[in-house]
Structure formats: structure tokens, C-alpha cells
Chains A and B, each alone.
Chain A
């Protein structure tokens, strides 16, 4: 048999539900298989660990061809909120938790969470702006150091 994957470091760079969930599911799935996992949040991906934003992450209904509908519908007031609530309900049924609960779950599963220093500086954020599960704010060099010996996945 091939060598098993022992460690993954996953970068979450996009905001929005479709930007945040794949990385969370992959990190949690890694832990479920006994694989060491790190999550590195950068750019709009930081929303997922920012206290005041993590509970309000939406699905983009404009400029998202994956929605299979004309973008003109997506601009209707409240449409994004409606689509988001539908999607979250569906996900809840298959036991995929909302973002804040998911962050807690991967953390409890032993995944380490980091915020990207460059983005934190750019958005003028501070460590206190993040949920308590975030280990630290690190630069890209430190990220590579932490990721040594494992696979890096960019989402």
C-alpha cells in the first residue's frame, strides 16, 4: 500500500460559504482519519475566524455561475440571505455545522488554526478580533515551517 498522508496544511483564502466550507471539511476529515491538520486563514478567508463575521458568512448569489440562475435575481434584496439560510438548513441535516460551530469542532478535533499576518495588517485586525480557537497570527515563512513534512492544500 502507498504511504499514508500524515499531515496536511490547508489554506482558506476565500470568503463566503463556498470559500470556507471545503477547507473546513477537509481539515476536519483529516483529523477524523488521524491525520495532523493545520488551517491557515488568509484574505477574505479570515472572515471564518473573525468574531463579528464568522456567524454571518453568506453564499454569493451574484457573479456565481454555480448558483444556476441569472445574476439579476441574485441582486434582489435579501436573496443572498435567503439562499444562505436554505443552504445552511440543508447542510445541518447532513450534520455539517454552521461556521462558528465548525471552527469549534475542528479545533476540538486537534486541528491548529492560524491567521495570516499580511492580511491581518492589511485589514488592521488584532489577535483579539479572532475567535479563541485561533492559535496565533503568523507570516508565510512560519506557515511553511509549520507545514514542513506535510502536504499543502490551497483553497
Chain B
């Protein structure tokens, strides 16, 4: 399993860069991955999405779908695409230290 240095921390990742051990995730790790993904600043709006996703992830073992995020009232689909441009579900999961979403929608 590859180790990767994000910011100052070494974390275990899969070959696409998703953390394989959620417990290694920290807010600093998130900031560092976000930079790599082209998001210079994680705003309170980003954190709100990430925190909700992580809560779901802890409960269900996978990141929630875009539909679920929209229905939860945490973030609309439009806002989500604005916050995490170019593949929001995957990007947010990666930044939040979760494994890659498996669903088709």
C-alpha cells in the first residue's frame, strides 16, 4: 500500500490517492489534499459538506451520494458542484479522507 506525504503527514493511500485509513485523516491532511485538487481554500461551506459526509461515512461505511447531500439540506447539487468543481463526490470524499464512492449516481 503506497504511503503518501500530504502536507507534513504521511498517510496510507490507494493508487488513486484516496486514504485507506480514515483514522489518519486530520484537517491539515484535508487542506493539503484540497490544494492538490485545485481548491486553494477550504471555506466554512466546504467544511459543512465534509463534516456531514464524514458523519454518514462513519455510520454507513461509505460517503453519501450527491442526491443524499441535496436531500439532507446541507448543500444543493448546484452548490456542491461549485464548491468541488470537476467531480464533486469524488473530490469531497478524497479531501475528507473517505474511500472512493462506488455508486453510479
Chain A contacts to B: CB under 8 angstroms: 25, 28-29, 31-34, 94-97, 101, 104-105, 108-110
Contacts and interface: CB of A to CB of B under 8 A. Distances in A.
B81 A108 contact: yes
Q: Interface centre among A94, A97, A105, A108, by most B CB within 10 Å? A: A108
A95 to B, nearest CB: 4
Given A34-B86, A95-B68, A110 B105 contact: no
Interface string B71-105: 00000111001000111111000000000000111
Sorting the interface of chain B by its residue count into under 10, 10 to 19, 20 to 34 or 35 or more gives 10 to 19
Contacts of A28: 105
A25 B105 contact: yes
Interface of B: 65-68, 70, 76-78, 81, 85-90, 103-105
Nearest to A101: B67
Q: Interface centre among B67, B76, B86, B87, by most A CB within 10 Å? A: B67
Contact of B90 (A32, A97, A104, A109): A32
Nearest to B79: A108
Given A25-B104, A108-B76, A109-B77, A95 B65 contact: yes
Contact of B66 (A32, A34, A94): A32
Contact of B87 (A33, A94, A95, A96): A33
20 contacts: A28-B105, A29-B104, A31-B81, A32-B89, A32-B105, A33-B90, A34-B87, A94-B103, A95-B67, A95-B68, A95-B103, A95-B105, A97-B67, A97-B105, A101-B67, A104-B77, A105-B66, A105-B70, A108-B77, A109-B81
Closest 6 CB pairs of A and B: A34-B86, A108-B77, A34-B87, A95-B65, A108-B78, A95-B67
